[in-house]
Amino acid sequence: MEGGRGGIIGTFFGIIIVQMIESIIVAVLMRGRKQELIQKMPGKVLITSVPFNAFAEAAAMLETAGLEIVRCIKPNAEECGPADFGGTMPGVHAVVAGMERWNEAMFRCFPDLEIIARYGVGYDKIDLAAAKEHGVRVTNTRVAELSQSVAEGALLLTLAALRHLPMLTGNMKQGIWRGQTGASLFGKTVGILGFGAIGQSFAKLLRGFETKILVCDPFIAQSVVDQHHATPVSQDTLLAESDIVSVHAPGTPENRHLIRAETLGGMKPTAILVNTSRGALVDEKALYEALTSGRLAGAALDVWETEPTPPDTPLLSLNNVVSLPHVAGDTRECVAAMVDCCVRQVTDALSGKQPRYVLNMEEQNP
């Protein structure tokens, strides 16, 4: 027994020692990573992104680089604007941007600005031409974790709409045990409007359901579509044949109200519309009319024409609408990866290196 107890104690202390060594190694690696990322650079960084601001370690890394942190964080997704900066803010060399609009008036507020590191993928609120005119590079965070997280969000919304999850949850809270019978995703035809990184990630997730995948994206090569066992079709064909239409097109001015009365009229009355891209792509008034008239079975929306979305928005009153507050990409893994990407972009740009994912300059992204 004594030998056994001694062996147990020895093993216990051995585990502790191993854990201590592992902790030291991790600390050394993190210190080395910071040294790799950080060089001393004077100036200020303006943070307007709420998720980025929530990560204390990210701000600490910027401060370690000698950068002063300035914040414009507003409640309930309100936008920062020129009035918040008292005319001009000299000394701000970088911005980690949220969803605020960057136009000529905003750029004039920041005479020393070198980079806008957009937290997220969409940049429809940033005037890229004005940024270039002012010598400001604009980047976004096209990290793999974001594509995967938003694709998972699209799948979540799809299944929730097919199985009437919001209505069934509401029924149970009211003491109603049964509810409307749902539909299966297995074997359905899914149309993907926009086949970039997120659309492709969504297609991968659909494979396990043995769905037929239709794709409409004139900018994607046939070889890419073939890799995902999808079929390229026109928009009209996609709308007419799909049981689920998932929107992943970019939020450009040309795509505003891509889904409107005419396009909704071309969909099956049993179909479901899913949007995790940008709210402006869908005409909400036309969608409401289609859902209440029986011309469309359901919708699942993560993005809205007005954000934050007022609680009296008509679509929110419908039982055949699944609604989320623009959180399809909000996973811990995705947020951590995007924060890290923004820090790297800022420190690279201000130390004379080329940042990744530059949107508005004629330079090769590494």
Residues 247 and 316 in one domain: yes
| The total number of structural domains that make up the chain | 3
Q: Is 257 left (phi over 0), alpha (psi -120 to 50) or beta?
A: left
Is 361 a member of any domain? no
Q: What local confidence, expressed as pLDDT, does residue 263 receive?
A: 98
Cis, peptide link before residue 75, omega less than 30° from 0: no
Q: What local confidence, expressed as pLDDT, does residue 55 receive?
A: 85
**Helix, strand, or coil (residue 303):** coil
Contact indicator for 20, 28 with CB cutoff of 8 Å? no
User: Can you read off the two tokens belonging to residue 224?
Assistant: 């890419």
CATH of the domain at 218: 3.40.50.720
* pTM: predicted TM-score of the whole model, two decimal places: 0.83
Residues 268 and 237 in one domain: yes
Helices (H) and strands (E) in the chain, counts: 13, 12
Is 106 a member of any domain? yes
Determine the structural domain holding residue 190 and report its residue range.
144-323
Is 62 a member of any domain? yes
Q: Residues 309-319: pLDDT tens digits?
A: 999 999 999 99
Residues 138 and 204 in one domain: no
Residues 119 and 45 in one domain: yes
**Active site amino acids:** 278, 307, 326
Q: Residues 107-155: pLDDT tens digits?
A: 999 999 999 999 998 898 999 999 999 999 999 999 999 999 999 999 9
User: Can you read off the two tokens belonging to residue 343?
Assistant: 């820090």
Residues 163 and 125 in one domain: no
Residues 27 and 113 in one domain: no
Across 338-362, average pLDDT: 93
Q: Residues 214-273: pLDDT tens digits?
A: 999 999 999 999 999 999 999 999 999 999 999 999 999 999 999 999 999 999 999 999
Is 355 a member of any domain? no
Residues 211 and 279 in one domain: yes
Residues 153 and 53 in one domain: no
Distances (CA, A) of 180 to 167, 169, 299: 8, 11, 16
Greater model confidence, 33 or 341: 341
C-alpha of 273 from chain center? 19
Residues 23 and 40 in one domain: no
Q: In 3D, which of 102, 146, 95 has the Cα closest to residue 127?
A: 102
